[in-house]
Amino acid sequence: MIRILVSSDPIDLAGEMARMEGDDVGAVASFCGLVRADDGVDRLELEHYPGATEAALDRIARAASERWSLQAATIIHRVGPMHPGERIVLVLAAAPHRHDALDACAYLIDRLKTDAPFWKRETRGGEARWVEARHGDAVAAARWTDPTP
């Protein structure tokens, strides 16, 4: 079961977690990314490409489901303005066995970083700047090179 959500509402972590659990689920792995204040950011804005974003996230979740034995894969991404400490992204993978859940979870977030059309704009003391793509993200995504095209 794949669940994709792109929304300007705060991410309901507990609710999303609860959706993953069931009598036959043995393992749920999650990754949550948050707005960090430590480099002086006081506001973060997330822009996206409506329609194309959801399609990209769906492709990523489907690729994970083909690669590992999953019972559920969820990708939630917040868009619009947010503040330090708030959740930007949540990915979840549920599986009978733990390594499927853990590996799929890492895959979902690594792929999302390079394959989904989102753009971050940070504001520090009134000054806004678009975040630059990180080379490390491309490297991280490349280690998952799909066995199938």
Q: Which residues bind its own copies (CB under 8 A)?
A: 13-14, 17, 21-34, 36-38, 84-85, 87, 96, 98-99, 101-102, 105-106, 109, 140
- Could you tell me how far CA 74 lies from the centroid of its own chain? 9
Instruction: Return d(Cα 109, Cα 134) in angstroms, integer.
Output: 14
Structure tokens at 105: 């979870």
The reply on whether position 127 binds another protein by CB under 8 A is no
Query: What is the residue-wise DSSP string for 11-34?
Result: P-HHHHHHHH--TT--EEEEEEEE
Binding partner of 99, given its own copies, another protein, none, CB within 5-8 angstroms per partner class? its own copies
Structure tokens at 77: 């991404």
Binding partner of 144, given another protein, its own copies, none, CB within 5-8 angstroms per partner class? none
Applying the rule CB under 8 A, the residues between 40 and 99 that interact with another protein are: 46-49, 51-52, 55-56, 77, 88-89, 98
- Would the CA dihedral through 8, 14, 18, 20 be positive or negative? positive
Q: Which is nearer to its own copies, 55 or 131 (CB)?
A: 131
Binding site for another protein (CB under 8 A): 33, 46-49, 51-52, 55-56, 77, 88-89, 98, 109, 112-121, 130-134, 137
